[in-house]
Structure formats: structure tokens, C-alpha cells
Structure 1
Amino acid sequence: MRTGSEPTTARSALRMRLWLSLWGLAWAVFGTAAFAVVGRPGWAAACGVLWLVITVDVVVVVRHLRQGPHYQPGRDVPPYRPPERRPW
């Protein structure tokens, strides 16, 4: 149920997702290079695919961060009315 304080107390996890993605990106790049040097093309390809997925995720997160906060109703918008109980 909505209390009316959600817009002021809501927090985004985008910055944490960005840092975790960057950490994963570093490991994917390292894994791709390491497996390519050792001669494991299958594992290098798997790390390369993971590298691509993480890069797309970083681009999406950065795009969302640059968009800024979206509209949230202010304090003048009352909370939703509680659901009415229906007698069965």
C-alpha cells in the first residue's frame, strides 16, 4: 500500500549497478585476454560474449543516469486510498 512518502524516500540502485558492471567488465576483459593467451578459445569466446553483455549494460546504465530523475508526485499529491473491504 502506498503511504505517500515513496517519492522522497526512494533511492536508485543505478550507481551501484554501474560500479558492479565496471568490476565485471574488468574481469571479463582480463578473462578474455588470459584465456586467449593460454590457448583456450572456447573460454575466451565465453568471456568475450560476457564482455559484450556487460558493455551493453554499462551503456544502458549510463544512459539512465544521464536522463536524470523522472517525475515523481510531490507532497501535494495525496496517497492512494486504502482498498475498501467488501463483505462476502
Structure 2
Amino acid sequence: MRTGSEPMTARSALRARFWLSVWGLVWAIFGTAAFALTGRTGWAVACGVLWLVVTIDMAVLLRHLRQGPHYQPGPDVPPYRPPEGPAP
């Protein structure tokens, strides 16, 4: 039986985070365009920076999604034993 402290049913929320990023991207593009057209340069720049951050986040998310699942030990694999002996 596994005695580690990690949750037994932990799942990644990458797909949910991806769709939230899509939502944020749409609003960042809309905000950049709207503020640029109304002459609010500061707000347009702020939305443009947010657009850049969301785009980078989406690229990282897509990379992680394309990598697929990684090996995770099952409940029958015990956790690593702590090192024995004095600490260096």
C-alpha cells in the first residue's frame, strides 16, 4: 500500500486551463482593439501585454497537452525510502 502524501486520484486540469486561456485571449484581443480605437493608449498597451502573456501560456499548455501522460507509479509501488546515514 502506498504511504506517500500525494493524492491517489490527482488529475491535471490542463484542458480546463487551456479553455480559460482561450477565453482570456478573446477578451485580451477585444480589449486591445477597443482601447486602441478609442484612443486609450495605456489601456491598449496593458491589454496587449495581457495578450502576450496569455499567448505564451497557451503555447506552454499545448506543449504539455501534446506530450501526453507521463509515468506515475500505481498504488502498489511504495514511495522512495529516505536516505540512510548522516546528512552530508
TM-score normalised to structure 2 length: 0.79
Counterpart for residue 59 of structure 2:
59
Gaps of 5+ in 2: 82-88
Which amino acid is 1:31 matched to?
G
Matches within 5 A, 1:21-32: 21-32=21-32
Distance 1:76 1:62 in 2: 32
1:17-46: CA deviations, max 9, x gaps? 001011000000000000000001111000
Distance 1:44 1:71 in 2: 44
Give the number of the structure whose residues are more often helix, by fraction.
Answer: 1
Selected match of 2:4 from 2, 7, 13: 2
1:59-84: CA deviations, max 9, x gaps? 00010000011110134313578xxx
Aligned pair count reads 79
Q: Secondary structure at the match of 2:72?
A: coil
Stretches of 4+ aligned residues off by more than 6 angstroms: none
TM-score normalised to structure 1 length: 0.79
Distance 1:16 1:61 in 2: 10
Q: Percent identity?
A: 72
Q: Secondary structure at the match of 1:10?
A: coil
Distance 2:59 2:6 in 1: 33
